[in-house]
Amino acid sequence: MLDADVLDRIYYHNSLRAWLIALAVMAGVVLGLAILRRLLLGRLERLAKRTRTEADDVIVDLVRRTSVPFRVFMALTLGSLVLTFPAGVRAGQIVRTIAVLALLYQVALWGNGLIGYFTRRYLARHAAEGSSATTITALSYGARLLLYGMLFLLALSNLGIDITALVAGLGIGGIAVALAVQNILGDLFGALSIVLDKPFVVGDFIIVDQYMGTVEHIGLKTTRLRALGGEQIVMSNGELLKSRIRNYKRMFERRVEMRFGITYDTPPDVVARVPEVMKEIIAGQPLARFDRAHFKRFADSALEIEAVYIMSVPDYNTMMDVQQAVNLELMRRLRAMDVEFAFPTQTVHLVRDASGTEATARGA
């Protein structure tokens, strides 16, 4: 056992007793944090295996990322609180500065883990969207760069460096760069909007103004469509989002409107039967749901009939198969009723004057 006089001896402005207490505190904190980390990991890992939530998985990953330097410097900071340093000695301030730097380093590890976790989670949930992974990965790099930049500025400030001029310079430089590359930034934010809002994904068939095609790639600056003719259409993301987009892949049903004309010499009773015939024909198609059929109007050279039905599936080829079946059955039924389809015609009436010597032609 150490003598009391020995424990009271002063070394570097503190008694040996104070130094021993400080060492005991540091050792206890390091050991306590290690035990706490081990216990937390064990409990959380068992809990994560039993649950389907992802919050516990995130916590397990963050606990794993708690670094040894962080635990050591936290213990060093707590141990230094036991010691007394003279006003002229900056040892305490140096210890606290190093501890803050260790904390910032640990925050960088935790932040990097969170960004990586949410990036992997998003990509796993949207794996079918293919090319949007490029945008998400680039955005994760941007988020990491922003995180590291903020922590770097905080570290400089903690070291006593005046960062006011640096922040002002970065702000002015950022504005200059933004003005120089505003079109590129517009496309980048357009890519972000497409990825998050999802007006379309890879594989969707869309129409943008007069252009149409299947979405083949969603990049950071451009989106590429494969047109029906086989050519590739490249559109900037910024301009794409300014347009009206029609997404045919997300149709649940397809409305089909068909018109045809029959000749003017068709008797009214027969004309009245035609919409009923259309209803029977459409009702006979398993994928079609009848909506309406009417004798719509007197056209220039025909009595116009209009019918509307709803396809229960949005596929265009299936719709055309049903439309073909309806058209063929309509031809058969109208032929059986002695009803003729009308086509553009013009009737010429010859009118003679009273003497019968001159004639004029009037078209109707």
Confidence of residue 4 (pLDDT cuts 50, 70, 90): low
More confident of the two residues 154 and 276: 276
> Which CATH number applies to 254-336?
3.30.70.100
pLDDT tens by residue, 143-167: 888 888 888 888 777 777 776 766 6
What is the pLDDT, as a whole number, of residue 101?
Answer: 79
Global pTM exceeds 0.75: no
- Residue 233's DSSP bridge partners are 225
94-103 confidence digits (pLDDT tens)? 667 777 778 8
Third-level CATH fold of 196-250: SH3 type barrels. (2.30.30)
Distance between CA atoms of 21 and 6, rounded to whole angstroms? 14
DSSP string covering 110-154, please?
HHHHHHHHHHHHHHHHTGGGTTHHHHHHHHHHHHHHHHHHHHHHH
Cβ-Cβ contacts under 8 Å for 259 (sequence gap 6 or more):
296, 304, 305, 306, 307
Contacts of 201 (CB under 8 A, 6+ apart): 126, 128, 129, 132, 215, 218
Closest CA to 60 of 122, 115, 123, 113: 113
Mean pLDDT of 355-362: 51
Burial class (CB in 10 A: 0-12, 13-18, 19+), 332: exposed
pLDDT tens-digit readout, 122-143: 777 665 555 566 667 777 777 8
